[in-house]
Structure 1
Amino acid sequence: MHIAHSVPTRYWHRLDNGKLQCDLCPRFCKLGPGQRGLCFVRGRVGDEVRLLSYGLSSGFCIDPVEKKPLNHFLPGTPVMSFGTAGCNLACRFCQNWDISRSRQTERLCDSASPDQLARAAVAHDCRSIAFTYNDPVIFHEYAIDVAKSCHQYGLRSIAVSAGYVCPAPREEFYQYMDAANIDLKAFTERFYHRICGGSLAPVLDTLEYICHQTDTWLEITTLLIPGENDSDREIAQLSRWISTHLGEEVPLHFTAFHPDWKMLDHPPTPLTTLERARMIAMEEGLKYVYTGNLPDDTGNSTCCPECRTPVIERSGYMITGWAVTSEGCCQHCGHRIAGHFEANPGHWGSRRLAIDINR
């Protein structure tokens, strides 16, 4: 099947100096003839801005949905994961930098139509498809078409994103997303400007939009980097903002940094930092707080916020205990657990399976 990898986009306008301004994200890249935006996959072709990677991917894997991380969305089920190349932020600590900072189209080695993707996910018994590894907002048109195909086959669509997107494309995008995990990378403009090449305010705006104006299930991840965004004060401020602006039932994941790309001089995050952050966030009123990227069965498990009894026990990505009713309630006290649950958990476990989409 032939796929046209260059497709027109809608979110741009012409400037008085003849350049075209991309209006997909707050970078507002201004493009002369033949130029690409910082994201690499959107560029000027003639007199329009086009997506140049439609139908292309850096590879396909099947993961546990908890790896996204999503702990309250169809726990234990397998999800087909894929991304493209490029990104609209420039995080110095990026752990997928070989994909997100790629400027080589050779990284996009696999090709698949939205229908092919959905059929492959069904064939491998997946319950959902996740747009991940790099930010799906930059392949907006492809992600939406894949999500539409997912829904035709009874699959869910998941966005793993930094939330750095403008209001109009954001509104269209999240019409089709069933769940999202948004990276809230820190809680200071200084961190976003100096380390990510972006700004915090648009991300907070996206979080409020998803939470209050869509039906998309939302979870949040913050990667804690020693000496950069792991102070008690910042963790408390971040947690308090989530509790106040989004609600106490939005799950928050604190994950461990390991030295990568341009931040090899920073030490890895110790488990004690994650445990401390989890305690602070719960003291600020958040009901579901998790740790990640390091072994911590307590920090991976879900407790009922009413009776404090474990309702989903996990060891890594493996579910080892289940006490959630078919209605999504605690089996011990009947309290409603926030999220999307089924009568029984999936049993995918910690496996990761790379697949050839064209076989």
Structure 2
Amino acid sequence: MNGTERRKNVQRLAILAVFSVLILIVFVISMNTGYSRLSPLEVFQTLFGMGTEKQELILFEFRLPRIVISLLVGAGLAVSGCIMQTISRNALADPSILGITHGAGVMVVLYLSFFPTQLDVPVLFLPILAFIGGLLAAALVFGLSYEKYEGLLPTRLVLTGVAVAAGLSALMTVLSLRLSRELYQFVAVWLTGSIWGATWDHVLALLPWIIVLFVFVYYKALVLDVLSLGKNVATGLGASVSKEQVILLAAAVGLAAACVSVSGGIGFVGLIGPHLARRLIGLNHKYLLPASALAGALLLLTADTIGRTILQPSEIHAGIVVAVIGAPYFLYLLARSNH
């Protein structure tokens, strides 16, 4: 490793450290803010078992699970978006734009429509349902965007994804009409992107998906580096392009679907997180994947904290806050892609 590459790696590690520190700062702020305020001293005392019963309830049962879920979902969606952008070589690829979150959502709403027991849905069952729906949507989008000799066509991929997402969104609306008022309100909130699964059971259900799939994808970092060079170059370097694309796409769908099952239809995290990381880190996936995870976690935790505090005692769902940021950014990227 030459001196220039060593300096770049030091800079990349420094950027990862900055992301981590920012997450820690927002984490502490999030623990201290909410409808029932806890001072920093009260949070510190409660963390070490010296708080009141009410303070322990607020911190351990309401805030901490939600904070952890926000971090896991943000990281999972951003890594999923990073994978999709690499294998499709399309800067606009994202689980929500490509209809994968909508496919996962349709499966969950289908379950609620025909088995209206939302309160009794096994927590561990939701990610599996969402994964099946997301995988079917991904297979449809990528199948319609694939040419035998040219591979995935970036422009067609986005257009197909937008069309499929619109169709699945309409299907969810139709299915929701047969729900009871209680379940309809749940689905309406879920579609806007709310950290609704804010319990330790949901954390335990989501955590294995994030850890296992991230470790697997990180193991494939070198493969992602090769795929980012294009089909012809990757094939020339000995990569089994189609096989690796399918495997990595399944991992990306698994990450996105598991996140959607506990957070609803949160969009743009998988678009903004990888873009921000790529601008700061570069194209080396050994550093880009963890940077994307940290950027996504920071973005969603910040959005959820803002949504909980800006209009107290009311609450703005995290998906809406992210959309306010993400929609203009998407239009900016779309405008740039035309040049």
Give the TM bin, normalised by the shorter chain: under 0.3
Bigger relative contact order, structure 1 or 2 (CA pairs below 8 A, ≥6 apart):
2
- Give TM-score, length-normalised by structure 1: 0.23
Structure with greater helix share of residues: 2
- Give TM-score, length-normalised by structure 2: 0.24
